[in-house]
């Protein structure tokens, strides 16, 4: 075989900027968010740097990327601080894929960190008031627009030996909270069951910097 031609994509870099929503605190922020890209329709290729961990505020660069479709996974573990949004050329891509290069040369990601987060505490007990340990607690934002977004927004964990669970830092807003001994995973069926049953869950209003406590009994979500 001769004269074979293989089209290739150029390697590009992507700047990631972390900005703080609100005034700069008096003390330096030492925690760092983590931002990872996942190619939507392929595996990672050699030389492709898909993760960064910038300062708050700060910038860092991903290198060796292709002009391709990516999804985002962003995490931050810190009291009061949470990831409010990630944008690409002004468009939110925190829960939606984006095409690198669609915004033109020089466009980057911006991660917005807010400072008014709180957490939700849940005390799980049976009908006789006895604490229930090792039971799953699921927290869902009430304003989730679809099942696909819900899969990315679900917060869950297990109660300790006293039947208590405390969430990570969450954005202020309304949430649905449920305790269950049923198993669930990230399949469309499980997410659909949660979505369809949310009216039976307990509503919780989380105010800025708040820490409301709720008492729950395990229920069936199937």
Asked if pLDDT for residue 5 goes beyond 80, the answer is no
State the Cα–Cα distance between residues 65 and 13, nearest whole angstrom: 6
Asked if pLDDT for residue 9 goes beyond 70, the answer is yes
- pLDDT tens digits, 189-218: 888 888 888 888 999 999 999 999 999 999
* Structure-token pair, residue 196: 């369809």
Q: Are strands 98-99 and 69-75 parallel, antiparallel or unpaired?
A: antiparallel
Confidence (pLDDT) at 7: 66
Phi/psi zone of residue 152: left (φ > 0), alpha (ψ -120 to 50 degrees), beta? alpha
């Amino acid at each position: 075989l001769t004269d074979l031609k293989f089209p290739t994509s150029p390697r590009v870099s992507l700047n990631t900027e972390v900005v703080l929503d609100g005034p700069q605190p008096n003390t330096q922020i030492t925690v760092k968010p983590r931002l990872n890209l996942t190619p939507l329709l392929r595996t990672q290729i050699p030389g492709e740097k898909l993760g960064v961990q910038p300062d708050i505020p700060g910038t860092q660069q991903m290198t060796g990327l292709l002009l391709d479709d990516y999804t985002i996974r962003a995490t931050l573990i810190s009291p009061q601080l949470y990831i409010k949004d990630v944008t690409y050329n002004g468009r939110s891509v925190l829960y939606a894929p984006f095409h690198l290069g669609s915004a033109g040369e020089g466009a980057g990601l911006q991660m917005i960190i807010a400072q008014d987060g709180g957490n939700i505490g849940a005390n799980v007990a049976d009908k006789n008031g006895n604490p229930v340990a090792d039971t799953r607690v699921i927290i869902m934002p009430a304003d989730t627009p679809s099942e696909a977004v819900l899969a990315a927004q679900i917060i869950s964990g297990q109660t300790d030996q006293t039947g208590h669970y405390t969430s990570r830092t969450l954005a202020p807003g309304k949430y649905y909270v449920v305790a269950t001994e049923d198993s669930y995973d990230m399949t469309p069926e499980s997410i659909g069951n949660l979505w369809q049953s949310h009216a039976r869950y307990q509503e919780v209003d989380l105010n800025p910097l708040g820490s409301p406590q709720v008492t729950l009994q395990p229920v069936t979500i199937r």
